[in-house]
C-alpha cells in the first residue's frame, strides 16, 4: 500500500492553515509547484479530492477536513516519537519549546535559562511569551512542550505542577494615603483607582479576586498592556496597583519614586506553575525545567 509521506502531510496541513498555495509554500520553504504537486499526489493516493482550487486561494473539501484532522494527529505522533527517542538518550537535549505568560517571562526566564544552559549544554530552548489561553492551545497542538503559567488554571488534557507562591505587593505614589497608612489590607483598595492589566491577562483576574473588585468598574479603570506600562501609569499619578513580588524584586519599578508595601497579612495573589500536555513524552523534562524555576523563585524570596 502506497502511503503519504510525513512531508506531504505537512504540506496539506500548511495549506489548510494558510488557505493559499503560495503562502503554504512559503511556510514550508518550497516552491509553489512543489507543494501543489505534493497535494495532487496525496489526492491520488487517497483517491479523493481534498482541496478546492479557487482563484483567490484554496479551501478544503469535507474529505480534506477529515484528512487534515488525521494528518495533524499523525504528525503529532511522529513528533512524540522523536521526543521520546531524544529523552531516552538524555533528558533536556535537543529542541524544547517553552512558553511563559508576560507577567512571568521577564522575571523568571533570564535566571532560569542561565542555570539550565550551564547544566544542559545540549539543550536548545525556543521561547514564546503569550497569554495563558494561547499557551494552552500551543500545548494541545504540540507547538509547545511546556508553559509557565499562573495557577489555578483548569484545562482538559493539560497537567500542571505548582512551583511556588507569588505574593502581591501594593504600589502607589509616595503622597498617596495608602502609601503611609499604618496597616494595609487588600480591602483598603476598594474605592481607589486601582490600575490593572488589560483584559486577557490572568494577572488582572487574580488582582480583582484579591481585592474583591468588580470586573466592570468605572471609567478610571485603564488597562495596561504590560507590568512596565502599569508601573509608569502609577508613577504618573493615575492610581495605585498590585505588583507581583517577583516583578518588584526584579526591579520593574527602578527609576520611579513609588512606594512598595507588603500588606499587613501577606497576600498570595497567585501560584506559579508549569503545564504540559497529558501523556506528553516530555513530561519528565517539563518537571526538570519546573525544578529550575522553583530554585529561581526561592532565590527571589531570600
Domains and their CATH numbers in the chain: 6-85 (1.10.10.10), 94-302 (3.40.190.290)
Cβ distance 164 to 298 under 8 Å? yes
User: Which tens digit of pLDDT belongs to each residue from 261-276?
Assistant: 999 998 888 899 999 9
Least confident among 20-24, 62-66, 199-203: 199-203
pTM of this structure: 0.69
Helix (H) or strand (E) holding 170: strand 158-173
User: Which tens digit of pLDDT belongs to each residue from 179-202?
Assistant: 988 889 888 888 888 888 876 567
pLDDT of residue 158: 95
**If we measure between CA atoms, which residue out of 158, 93, 154, 146 comes closest to residue 291?**
146
Q: For residue 214, name the pLDDT band (cuts at 50, 70, 90).
A: low
Alpha helices in the chain (DSSP H): 6-18, 21-28, 32-46, 62-89, 105-119, 132-140, 202-211, 227-235, 245-249, 283-300
Backbone angles phi, psi at 96, to 5 degrees: -140, 125
Q: Is the dihedral of CA 124, 74, 132, 275 positive or negative?
A: negative
Whether the per-residue pLDDT at 69 is higher than 80: the answer is yes
CA 35 to chain centre: 32
For residue 148, list its beta bridge partners: 100, 274
What is d(CA 178, CA 264) in angstroms, rounded to the nearest whole number? Answer: 12
Amino acid at each position: 500500500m502506497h502511503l503519504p509521506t510525513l512531508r506531504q502531510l505537512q504540506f496539506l496541513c500548511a495549506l489548510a492553515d494558510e488557505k493559499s498555495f503560495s503562502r503554504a509554500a512559503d511556510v514550508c520553504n518550497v516552491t509553489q509547484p512543489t507543494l501543489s504537486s505534493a497535494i495532487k499526489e496525496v489526492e491520488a493516493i487517497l483517491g479523493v479530492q481534498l482541496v478546492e482550487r479557487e482563484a483567490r486561494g484554496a479551501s478544503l473539501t469535507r474529505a480534506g477536513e477529515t484528512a487534515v484532522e488525521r494528518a495533524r494527529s499523525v504528525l503529532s505522533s511522529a513528533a512524540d516519537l522523536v521526543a521520546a527517542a531524544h529523552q531516552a538518550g538524555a533528558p533536556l537535549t535537543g529542541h524544547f519549546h517553552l512558553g511563559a505568560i508576560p507577567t512571568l517571562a521577564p522575571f523568571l526566564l533570564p535566571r532560569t535559562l542561565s542555570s539550565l544552559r550551564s547544566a544542559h549544554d545540549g539543550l536548545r530552548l525556543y521561547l514564546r511569551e503569550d497569554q495563558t489561553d494561547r499557551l494552552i492551545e500551543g500545548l494541545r497542538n504540540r507547538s509547545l512542550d511546556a508553559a509557565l503559567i499562573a495557577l489555578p488554571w483548569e484545562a482538559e488534557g493539560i497537567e500542571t505542577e505548582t512551583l511556588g507562591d507569588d505574593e502581591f505587593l501594593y504600589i502607589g505614589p509616595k503622597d498617596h494615603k495608602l502609601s503611609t497608612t499604618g496597616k494595609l489590607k487588600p480591602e483598603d483598595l476598594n474605592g481607589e483607582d486601582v490600575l490593572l492589566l488589560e483584559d486577557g491577562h490572568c494577572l488582572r483576574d487574580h488582582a480583582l479576586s484579591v481585592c474583591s473588585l468588580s470586573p466592570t468598574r468605572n471609567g478610571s479603570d485603564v488597562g495596561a498592556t504590560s507590568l512596565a506600562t502599569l508601573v509608569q501609569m502609577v508613577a504618573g499619578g493615575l492610581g495605585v496597583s498590585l505588583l507581583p513580588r517577583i516583578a518588584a524584586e526584579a526591579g520593574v519599578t527602578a527609576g520611579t519614586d513609588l512606594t512598595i508595601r507588603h500588606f499587613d497579612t501577606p497576600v498570595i495573589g497567585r501560584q506559579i506553575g508549569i503545564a504540559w500536555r497529558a501523556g506528553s513524552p516530555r513530561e519528565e523534562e517539563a518537571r526538570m525545567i519546573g525544578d529550575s524555576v522553583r530554585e529561581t523563585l526561592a532565590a527571589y524570596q531570600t
